[in-house]
Amino acid sequence: MVTLNTGLRRVEPYFFHHRMHTKERWKDRSILDVFVQEFRNRSPDYYKNAIEKGWITVNKSVVSPETIVRTNDVIRHAEHFHETPITARPFCIISHDDDVLVVDKPGGIPMHSSGRYRYNSAVEILKQALNIPRLYPINRLDRHTSGLVIMALTPERATEISLDIERRMVQKEYLCRVQGEFPPGKIVCDAPIKPISFKLSLHYVHEDGKPCMTEFERISYNGQTSVLKCRPLTGRTHQIRVHLRYLGFPIANDPMYNFTPVTPWLPPPMTFMSNSKAEQVIQHLLDMTCYEQEEVQDNTNNSTSSSGSDVCPECSMLLPREPTPETNFGIYLHAWRYQGKGWDYKTKYPKWVHEPFNDSVVPAYM
């Protein structure tokens, strides 16, 4: 069940059924040890309780925490799933015909089901709202990025547009607001980008990175922040965000690549990341993640949940702090226009592009 109120879209908790075959490294270990060591998003107490309740079974049979896992065992886990609330701002439909759907996605909504998002993902929301059985996303925007999303309604059309993008036959234009006075004129950045940590979704400029290129052009400057038009000529993950950080003009409210208290370990502007530095950054961010998880648990008495309770009565999971309607769900990065062979789609400008702009709403990162 989905509810829309106080500016948020909430999915009521539900049971999600996982089914998995025994992996080689799980053999001859207890079922409790397998879950505690392999799936660390839950506590040992949760897994012990789930096994005893019959939420975790082996070959459809209720077992004890000490049960040994054997070859060919089929393990099932009925997980009580709590989705993270997202903004209730609607998608704006730009175009909808027999083989393509084009929408303006609000920031803060992931494209696909992953992590703590399933029904609160762009694909699932649009499938349900428009009664479309299958969607094939062409350009996969980051969760934090707003703007133009192209989805094919047939695999043939998806392949056709995707190939055009790979062959650089599609022109892409983004808008962003960055810290500082970006130089006038056109600036091209061709620093190579490498995934530093897939788990943390962190990418940065590295000598072993893949070639990529972004063209930037300043639209305005108000004394504190600049609005830019960005033209990515390649399609690396986080390319615009990383190139702007590398140039010394990060997106003004980017929590990952700005000069934030969370990321003082990233290299200074115009500096590649070394392998040793990458290891330090990953460890610091993992430590920060663990610290934040402990903070959530330590502060649950101050958290606000939709049920009015700090602990889920069904699975005893500590409920995370719920965002307020004023929360800025996205960053100042917007996919504005995509133009290809025989088609041209664009959105309206987001509000933060226009001047005068209230820079006091930007986090004081610098």
d(CA 254, CA 257): 6
Contact yes or no for 193/200 (Cβ under 8 A)? no
Q: Residue 59 — left, alpha, or beta (φ > 0 → left; ψ -120 to 50 → alpha)?
A: left
Strands 146-152 and 333-340: parallel
Q: Is 73 a catalytic residue?
A: no
Pairwise CA distance, residues 171 & 141, whole Å: 16
Distance separating alpha carbons of residues 138 and 116, to the nearest angstrom:
23
Q: Where are the alpha helices (H) located in the chain, listed in sequence order?
A: 31-38, 44-53, 122-130, 155-166, 239-247, 275-298
DSSP string, 23-66: PGGGTTSBHHHHHHHH-TTS-HHHHHHHHHHTSEEETTEE--TT
Q: Rg of the chain over CA atoms, in angstroms?
A: 23
Cα dist. 190→134, 186, 246, 306 in Å? 37, 13, 11, 46
Choose the catalytic residue: 142, 164, 287, 344: 142
β-sheet bridge partners, residue 333: 176
Distances (CA, A) of 65 to 17, 54, 68, 73: 19, 11, 9, 15
DSSP 89: P
Query: Are 183 and 227 spatial neighbours (Cβ–Cβ below 8 Å)?
Result: no
Residues acting as catalytic residues? 142
